Amino acid sequence: MKKLAEGALFLSPLLLILILVLLSFKSSPWKSQPLKNTITPKVRPTVLPQSKFEYVFYELEDYSKLNLINNDKKKQSSDLISTNNCQVAINGGFYDTDHQPLGLMIIGQVELYPALESSLLNGFLWLSQLGAFGITDTLPSVDLELALQTGPLLYQNGSLLPLEIKNDKLARRSVMATLSNGNLLLMIIYDGQSVFLGPKLAELPAILQEAASENDLVIIDAINLDGGSASMFKSSQKYLSEYKSIGSLFCITE
């Protein structure tokens, strides 16, 4: 009996410690909360690549207000806009290392540079002397007031054109398009976090389609202009200036 009592006295402290441990475990707050060093993964929704890009656009109804300016003197767009009283402006086409336009340029009925064969610069923007405007893969047999070769074509006859571009890169994109309502669309698409970046060229037709759909616009023909650091856009809402000199400027006056 004495030994049994001694055993009970020996077990009691151990039993008490066990009970206290269990109570402490049950009431401890860290059991139901994540540790401070634990990173809780967040589920990110799948988004379309174009959804991160922003854009600004302008619709031109009166083609007589459209002018093309050759920037062979490498002036800043702000100077060209001020000198020519441009209310809206967007950069033109591509140029070579000598700052000469790549392909056809006609201004004021005068051909300043001839057309060239190019799989990339495969389209023309043109305004006839009678006021008709077009974006086509060949030039019409009419007298032209202005014309510019650029590319690639993004839309033709209301359909997206698939693009396969080698060494495609992210860059700000300038676009001109004809609409079903007869207006001319000027648009620039860019990354809101880094304004000289934007979509890859191969992505541009689909992104342009999304932007048009959001604004109840129907595109007939569309073409790419020079992009990246040699692109710019100016309207009453926004002015995105260039980093490098632009080769030419489409200027809309009052």
**Which tens digit of pLDDT belongs to each residue from 118-150?**
999 999 999 999 999 999 999 999 999 999 999
Which residue ranges make up each domain of the chain? 49-252
**Contact by Cβ (8 Å): 233, 89:** yes
Residue 193 token pair:
């976090």
% of the chain surpassing 70 pLDDT: 80
pTM, 2 dp: 0.79
pLDDT of residue 151: 97
Q: How confident is the model at residue 166 (pLDDT cuts 50, 70, 90)?
A: confident
**Contact by Cβ (8 Å): 212, 219:** yes
Mean pLDDT over each residue of the chain, to the nearest integer: 85
Nearest to 218 by CA among 133, 159, 132, 136: 159
**Alpha-carbon 243 to chain mean position:** 16
CA dist., res. 59 & res. 127, Å (int): 16
